[in-house]
Amino acid sequence: QVQLVESGGGLVQAGGSLRLSCHASGRTLGDYAMGWFRQAPGKEREFVAAITWTGAATNYADFVKGRLTISRDNAKNVIYLQMNSLKPEDTAIYYCATGATRWTLGKTSNEYNYWGQGTQVTVSS
């Protein structure tokens, strides 16, 4: 069993930056690929980014367009999502999740097993 806790969300103006963190307990994150998803009010949860267990490969949603970067520090049991040039449409609850395998980079929720409770990101215009 893995417990995931996201942090780093908050209120930021358009064009600003935030770095989200996802800390794990119960298991080492180095055993998993990891993903970030988000869910805006009234919308379905959508894929943001994923990273394999060593960090050697990543995958991003098309809307990221170089603004967001996923990374990980297995020694600290944490993954990050650096978000730059934020837009109001980035407003959502952001969730981290463990991949079903060490190499999971998929964009669908059913490829991920354990989920955190989410952290709210609000971008004002």
- Per residue of the chain (125 residues), give pLDDT as tens: 899 999 999 999 999 999 999 999 888 888 899 999 999 999 999 999 999 999 999 999 999 889 999 999 999 999 999 999 999 999 999 999 999 999 999 999 999 999 999 999 999 99
DSSP class of residue 26? S
- The b/e string for 77-109 (b: 16+ C-beta within 10 A; e otherwise) is bbbbbebeebeeebbbbbbbbbbeeeebbbbee
Longest distance between any two alpha carbons in the chain, whole Å: 40
What pLDDT score does 29 carry? 86
